[in-house]
Amino acid sequence: MMDQEKISQLSDIAKAMVAPGKGILAADESMNTVGKRFASINLENTEDNRRAFREMLLTAPGEEQYISGVILFDETIRQRTSGGKSFVEVLRAGGILPGIKVDQGLVSFNGSEVEKITKGLDGLGDRLKEYVALGAKFAKWRAVITISDSTPTPENIVQNTADLAQYALLCQQAGLVPMVEPEVLLDGNHSLQKSTEVLEQTLISLIAELKKAGVALEGTILKSSMAISGKNSGVKDTPAQVAEATIGVFKKVLPKELAGVVFLSGGQSELQATENLNAMHQLGQLPWPVTFSYARALQDGATKTWKGNPDNLLAAQRVFLHRAKMNSLASQGKYQPDMEQGFSAAAGGAATQD
């Protein structure tokens, strides 16, 4: 059992992560994922370009109004801006909490071609100590749950959620708030009902494993998928449908002492992720803070505007800040589609006017 003082410190950090009107930027993409983003703008995947990309996002003026924390990648937490300041220093100066992705990617589960588990538990305790020394205040671990005709299997759900719990306990022992992310993948042709059922099964298992491991829920953040029809289903759920299904699961399964919930966007478009989050807050007062932790759904328009060209930096940051503001409003149920005026969704959110 952890002492009460440590739990209280973790709880304070977790509360700051889900402060009203704020969310978390996921800037923790692996080098391969960044490479795919760069390929879409014909930019070479070099360390300097990755640094410039992260600098564009992390130095946007005023982002602390909407962003409470940033999940960094191992490379990024060690990098400096073109002006020589470490990214951790930049975030701290704005009152933004630095976080770190600590999982090491996916491997096949029991030889399956479909199901995966996440590697990275070996040596994790030592790595966490280093990240604390580098300034991290929270960490993230992503597991994936795949829906198909034969999956997910109960065994895969249990293995993934048990690993998340082991990671979470190690984080809390090191003084880091764990963000636990069991992503129910959007890939597939499954129905909203199937997505809802799998989300419920996954979260029931996760909460049970966290409790069994002795993880303090008041110092833990859940990074969750939304209940949503598979992207190959041909069905586009309304924001109200997504909200009702998702919050319905949360109210059945999540304990009130959980510090908060942040959503991953999981392949949704920028506007879809904002609209769905807003709809959650149209359902009345929720038992926990519920906000966003988006990667592509915060960055996509800014990336397409930036294109790796320093001359586009300010325009790209304006696009990023607009998206962050829209999600800030959505996290309070105050978003309206007409607030997008002047920003072209078709251009990935590129600004058409100031």
Whether 223 is a known active-site residue: answer yes
3-state secondary structure of 258: coil
Catalytic residue among 181, 200, 270, 275: 181
Identity of residue 183: E
User: 86 has which bridge partners?
Assistant: 80
Structure-token pair, residue 288: 């926990």
Rg (CA), the chain: 19
Length of the chain measured in residues: 354
130, 300, 341, 342 from 352: Cα distances, Å: 44, 15, 9, 5
DSSP state of 114: S
Q: Does residue 155 have an active-site annotation? A: no
d(CA 254, CA 213) in angstroms, rounded, equals 17
- The span from the CA of 319 to the CA of 300, in Å, is 9
Give how far Cα 209 sits from Cα of 11, 58, 242, 318, 346, Å: 19, 34, 26, 42, 43
**Amino acid making up residue 40:** S
DSSP 37-55: HHHTTT----HHHHHHHHH
Bridge partners of 292, per DSSP, are: 263
Q: Among 101, 223, 244, 270, which one carries the catalytic annotation? A: 223
Catalytically active residues, by annotation: 181, 223
